[in-house]
Structure 1
Amino acid sequence: MRSIVLAVLTTFGGVACTASMDDHFDGSKVDASKWTTQQVLSRQIEFTKPGRCGSAAIDIVTTDGDKGLECEDDCQRAELRTTKKIWPSYGDEVWFSFSFKITGDVPSAGSARSVIGQWKGPGDSSPMIAQRFDNGVFHITVQDNNIRRVIAQAEGNPDALLSAQSLLGKLEFNDRNVNAIKSLQSLDLINRNSPEVSNRFFSQHLAQSMGPDAKNSDAKALSQALGLPGDGNLVSQFRALAFVAEPEKYIGRANIEIVPASNRPLPDPRKGWVDMIYRVKPGRTDNEYGPRQPGEIDVWANGQKIVSVRGNIGATMQKKDNFPLVGPYFKFGTYRHRIPGTFHFEFDEFSQSPTRAGLAQLCAAQ
């Protein structure tokens, strides 16, 4: 296994070298030179055998009684983070690869704000990039300051998703629209996930007002009843985005271009190992210091290109904040609202490098 290659302290041609690191988790012990554990309890760390390629993989386990370390609300948090000495210089191109899967109690509905991997840059409140698992759907999001966008998902229609996000992007962020979108999501999830409740307490007319097959007049009537502007298109197309947590985060304009590759879905991590590769080059055109060009993200899953993203990614760097230009740093594990059951997040074969060629080679599919 390669040792950590530290970033040089001097620069060549004004460009700093990004630290490289591999971890195959075959030693059945967390390497403190690579990972920090202040946001996870020792009893939440297990090792399963065999791993994705080698003898073992790390398993982050969350149970009913677990609380979260450094949580702002009633959440469950169990995450490992890369150590600071391997954080890249902010603005450098960095490649990441890893494998993961999900086992145990995995609800297909009711899962809220479940983050299972994230990249945090300077000034970020929400992660600039996040792997999420809400309402049974694995998806990836990016952030333009406080506005969020799904860039890929494990099921559904990518074109419909982009259309729904575009319509939300045209709304003004205010209490009326926030409450309306939350109500629309609740109605849609009840209608689809609890049809017996919907049939007993709601009229069939309400069900017919939502979804892509809704009549224009019905969708418009529901839109007006909720206090939403427009002709009802958002009501009829919102279903493509209804699985996300915090739908209000998607209201407002985001300077992010999402280009799916051949409408390919992400693999379902409940069905086996998923092999991810990310190319990340942070940037924003409105930065007051740091990188002043559009950010770039490219994502591959199980060897296939999934999506490319360009635009203002992460938080705007303002001189008054004076954040150090380091990151984004990577975290994996579980960070979510409290959910019953025992949840296993298995993770293996992590690699970080300034180039794709520098990533550790992955074994053939098991």
Structure 2
Amino acid sequence: MRSILLTAMMSLSGVACAAAGLDDHFDGSKVDPSKWTTQQVLSRQIEFTKPGRCGNAAIDIVTKDGDDGLECEDDCQRAELRTVKKTWPNFGDEVWFSFSFKITGDVPSKGSARSVIGQWKGPGDSSPMIAQRFDNGVFHITVQDNDVRRVIAKAEGDPDALLSAQNLLGNLEFNEQNVNAIKSLQSLDLISRNAPEVSKQFFSQSLMQSMGPEAKGGDAKALSEALGLHENGDLVSQFRSLSFVAEPEKYIGKADIEIVPEANRPLPDPRKDWVDMIYRVKPGRTDNEYGPRRAAEIDVWANGQKIVSVKGNIGATLKKKDNFPLAGPYFKFGTYRLRIPGTFHFEFDEFSQSATRAGLAQLCATH
């Protein structure tokens, strides 16, 4: 009798009783309403492509020029599917996720700012606690410590240089002067790389050279002082490894997150082929007033290789006064971005969710 009452109370509170298993291979060429909700996507944005990653079909979320976004707060395009509530785990439980995706169509290598292509949200999150992003042609994964963001893996470049740049941004105080300085630094860097002829015509050679790892100390220091980043010449010369991100100001300030990348293992490029992802997610924060009071743990694999391990305070701090139900994180996939011209295809397949890695659906081997 006691167990029946407990189950009923948890159901009424909106909390999942366990990390419910969920598999979807999308071979039926239709969205299964027992697995996915569609309130943030229009029916005309859902297509199916054949063949899929392994089976007959894969779902294809299509975003076109004229598309707007459901539940958008600005000029954005949003087309996402979300797992149904009955499959959400208890917040704090270890959950494993696996899926495959690729990107086709009009895929800009620059200007694609704030492009989220998959996200996990927990109780109290505004920005997702974990997000797959595709800004300026670079696939990367981020986590949040409340309002402070960190890249934990990306598809190109030196992971050690990335961590160094983030650490330097973490030492800055979040204020208007530093925010404007970082935005200006990003603009200068993107112009120097994406429009070199323009930079040669309007900017001095020493200015452009000051923003790379080969920069002379004096040049980097001069630009740093001009931007108001006093005594931060190292940040100026190392920022390039992070300049692809949208909203660089969100990386300013301390974050209690430890990132341990595997040596020389970037994420694959989803524009070239299917990318197979596995995530182990165990939410938590040491400063929670209720819920899991311990550091979170995240591990990420891509195409069968371990990419990164992460530990620390991830997601929003749970305050007793807010009393959010301890359910999630729930997973969403599709497109959520600022408006970009062209037709964008986000193909997704072979989704699996389980309490253990052994419980994930097996994936066909093509890599």
TM range (shorter): over 0.9
Partner of 1:177: 178
Partner of 2:320: 319
Q: Per the alignment, in what secondary structure is the counterpart of residue 212 of structure 1?
A: coil
Q: Per the alignment, in what secondary structure is the counterpart of residue 278 of structure 2?
A: strand
Say if 1:231 and 1:115 are closer, same or farther in 2 by CA, change over 3 A: closer
Offset at residue 264 of structure 1 (A): 0.5
Partner of 1:229: 230
Partner of 2:356: 355
Offset at residue 206 of structure 1 (A): 1.0
Counterpart code for 1:316 = T
Partner of 1:255: 256
Counterpart code for 1:142 = V
Q: Per the alignment, in what secondary structure is the counterpart of residue 269 of structure 1?
A: coil
Partner of 1:90: 91
Q: 1:9 & 1:356 partners in 2: Cα distance?
A: 26
Q: Per the alignment, in what secondary structure is the counterpart of residue 187 of structure 2?
A: helix
Partner of 2:114: 113
Partner of 1:3: none
Q: 1:208 & 1:358 partners in 2: Cα distance?
A: 52
Offset at residue 286 of structure 1 (A): 0.1
Offset at residue 231 of structure 1 (A): 4.0
Residues 274-302 of structure 1, C-alpha deviations (whole Å, 9 max, x = no match): 00000000000000000000000000000
Gaps spanning 5+ residues in structure 2: where?
A: 1-5, 11-15
Q: 1:292 & 1:192 partners in 2: Cα distance?
A: 44
Partner of 2:193: 192
Q: 1:317 & 1:263 partners in 2: Cα distance?
A: 36
For the pair 1:59 / 2:60, whether they are aligned, the reply is yes
Residues 187-244 of structure 1, C-alpha deviations (whole Å, 9 max, x = no match): 0000011101111111112101111011000000000000013240000000000000
Offset at residue 16 of structure 1 (A): 5.0
Partner of 1:34: 35
Partner of 1:271: 272
Partner of 2:102: 101
Partner of 2:165: 164
For the pair 1:211 / 2:212, whether they are aligned, the reply is yes
Partner of 1:341: 342
Partner of 1:302: 303
Counterpart code for 2:109 = S
Q: 1:347 & 1:19 partners in 2: Cα distance?
A: 21
Q: 2:192 & 2:125 partners in 1: Cα distance?
A: 35
Displaced runs of 4 or more, over 3 A? 8-11
For the pair 1:241 / 2:242, whether they are aligned, the reply is yes
Q: 1:275 & 1:332 partners in 2: Cα distance?
A: 14
Counterpart code for 1:339 = I
Q: 1:23 & 1:298 partners in 2: Cα distance?
A: 22
Say if 1:319 and 1:184 are closer, same or farther in 2 by CA, change over 3 A: same
Q: 1:217 & 1:155 partners in 2: Cα distance?
A: 29
Scaled by the length of structure 2, the TM-score of the pair is 0.96
Counterpart code for 1:337 = L
Counterpart code for 2:208 = A
Partner of 1:4: none
Q: 2:212 & 2:113 partners in 1: Cα distance?
A: 22
Q: 1:52 & 1:28 partners in 2: Cα distance?
A: 13
The residue correspondences of 1:1-150 to structure 2 (distance < 5 A) are: 9=7, 17-150=18-151
Overall identity of the aligned pairs, in %: 83
Q: 1:129 & 1:230 partners in 2: Cα distance?
A: 33
Q: 2:157 & 2:249 partners in 1: Cα distance?
A: 20
Q: How many residues align?
A: 356
Residues 110-130 of structure 1, C-alpha deviations (whole Å, 9 max, x = no match): 010000000000000000000
Q: Per the alignment, in what secondary structure is the counterpart of residue 235 of structure 1?
A: helix
Residues 232-283 of structure 1, C-alpha deviations (whole Å, 9 max, x = no match): 0000000000000000000000000000012300000000000000000000
Q: Per the alignment, in what secondary structure is the counterpart of residue 349 of structure 1?
A: strand
Q: 1:350 & 1:29 partners in 2: Cα distance?
A: 14
Q: 2:179 & 2:235 partners in 1: Cα distance?
A: 14
Counterpart code for 2:308 = V
Residues 148-180 of structure 1, C-alpha deviations (whole Å, 9 max, x = no match): 000000001000000000000000000000000
Counterpart code for 2:337 = R
Counterpart code for 2:162 = L
Q: 1:240 & 1:231 partners in 2: Cα distance?
A: 16
Partner of 2:13: none
Q: Per the alignment, in what secondary structure is the counterpart of residue 153 of structure 2?
A: strand
Q: 2:252 & 2:199 partners in 1: Cα distance?
A: 27
Say if 1:231 and 1:130 are closer, same or farther in 2 by CA, change over 3 A: closer
Residues 65-114 of structure 1, C-alpha deviations (whole Å, 9 max, x = no match): 00010000000000000000100000000000000000000000101000
Offset at residue 306 of structure 1 (A): 0.2
Q: Per the alignment, in what secondary structure is the counterpart of residue 270 of structure 1?
A: coil
Q: 1:167 & 1:260 partners in 2: Cα distance?
A: 18
Scaled by the length of structure 1, the TM-score of the pair is 0.96
Q: 2:44 & 2:17 partners in 1: Cα distance?
A: 38
